Amino acid sequence: MRRNVWWMLLIGAVPTAMFVVMSALIWFNVYAFTVSPLSALKIAIGVVPSAVVLGSGLWVLVFKGDSPLHGVPVREEEQPELWALVRRLAEAAGTAPPDDIRLTADANAAVVEDTRLLGLIALRRHMFVGAPLVAEMAAPHLAAVIAHELAHYGNRDTRFAGTAYRSRSAFAHTLTAMNRDDYLQRGLHFLLRHYGRLVLHASANLSRRQERAADEAAARTVGSAPTVAAFGDLTSIAASWELFRRRHLVTGWQAGYLPADAFAGFRRLRDSLEGEPVEADEPDPYDTHPPMGERIASVRALDAPGTVRVPAGAALGLLRDPRPLLDAALLDGLGPEALAKRRADWPALVRIGALASATEHTGLVLANAARATGRPVALRTLLDALDADMLVEVGTDPAGPQRPTDGPRVRRERARILVHAGLTGAVLAALTDAGALHWSESWPSRGAVRLDERYDDSLPDLLDAAVSDRPDTTRLRALLDSADQPRERPRGRWHYR
């Protein structure tokens, strides 16, 4: 009860200050009208905009738009093993289980409650479990994560979480909307910023105490060893998942493709990163979680054996036919566009993604070459145009940066960059179609390319020679012609990121 009172005070501290200041400004302006209407009109020029900014910030807090729930529902009749584990953990934590469980595309877990009256009335409980955690964690480690989240229910931490978030949003909205050129709003900004900083610092301290209590509850429920291991998994999975989403998952997105089995690729990425240190986040005084090292040390010191026995093995064993469910969670996280994407295995996705990136400017360059020479759109037409010293004509982009003051040298260098990129894409595509280039996985890079043994020349050198001031496409043509000959043993490979 005492903790809840603190939450109510901290949540209401900044909005109350905003409301008091707004009310004081309005009262002062109304009072000024009773004294001198003309002076009141002058005062209103400064007071009304400030009151409007404060009022709009309070509206952010008062208006509760129920956001649609994200994630894929995990129905109890379809996944009874996971639900049975959650119910056992909830019973051990002395709280009711969630009303629904959702699998998300995030590398974390969370619980929320639908509440009314600033958290005094709870309506429905939701638990969110990240698909990357299910795919990569051992069952006891995932149980520790779930037990930690359930402890927030037991301590009623979730009752005020939504209101606390909106309170911080209202504060941030107000500071951002203030006109710093207006002297009154500048002064209000200074006062609210420093006052709010003190309140947010106190709120963060309270949140960290709640996290420590949830850590302790997880350790006593599942055991200190699985909980410590779960902390290490969370840090590692979160870092590698971010890398995976940014570098690998959407590598074929622009070409209209997604991996056929994303989590198999994620597993191979994690295997390739095994042993690499995970960078720790810089300490943040407003962070709602204690530093991970401190949390691990506290849980390890408890040396709790745990009261709920969780079967050993992968967390995937808690789900029946997990792959479609994990894939659905991933698509949900990527948005509606993901549903229209085709699927490809990882070797094909490496090739598709690399060629899509490499050929970004190829169409424009080939079309320019055809227009300049009056010949069909083809790679050979482009090479003929380069031999004819039509670099500037081929490399002119009507949508690119064109300035009348640019001299011939500037235009030529700009054209050289564009033509080099377009030519590279055309050559890579041609050699790939001829079977002379072989694309493959090469974690943690995006992939690797192998060239046939017969290619003695360096492909980058041949491309540079074709777009030089004295263009020479002879060796590049010979390379393309040789691609039609019987293939030999691959000679090596290079990686791309």
Cα–Cα dist 113/108, whole Å: 17
Q: Are strands 447-452 and 490-496 parallel, antiparallel or unpaired?
A: antiparallel
Residue at token pair 């709010």: 196
Q: How many residues does the chain have?
A: 497
pLDDT of residue 20: 76
Alpha-helical regions (H) of 244-342: 262-273, 292-302, 322-334
* Closest of 488, 486, 494, 460 to residue 475, by C-alpha: 460
Tokens encoding 390: 């039509």
The 10 Å Cβ neighbour count of residue 169 is: 13
Counting runs of H as helices and runs of E as strands, what totals does the chain give? 18, 9
What is the helix (H) or strand (E) element at residue 253, kind and residue range? none
* Closest of 106, 74, 72 to residue 319, by C-alpha: 74
Question: In whole angstroms, what separates CA 57 from the centre of its chain?
Answer: 27
Taking CA atoms, 427 is separated from 250, 263, 279, 359, in Å, by 24, 32, 40, 9
Residue 128 bridge partners (DSSP): 102, 110
pLDDT of residue 494: 44
* Closest of 427, 280, 420, 458 to residue 355, by C-alpha: 427
Which residues of the chain are under the pLDDT cut of 50?
1-7, 10, 117-120, 157-159, 161, 487-497
Quick check: 346 and 272 in contact, CB under 8 A? no
pLDDT of residue 67: 60
pLDDT of residue 399: 74
Q: CB burial class (10 A; 0-12, 13-18, 19+) of residue 380?
A: middle
Residue at token pair 């941030």: 172
User: Is the preceding omega at residue 98 within 30 degrees of 0, hence cis?
Assistant: no
Amino acid (one-letter) located at 209: R
Cα–Cα dist 488/27, whole Å: 88
pTM (2 decimals)? 0.76
Quick check: 420 and 386 in contact, CB under 8 A? no
pLDDT of residue 495: 47
Q: What is the DSSP-derived secondary structure letter of residue 129?
A: E
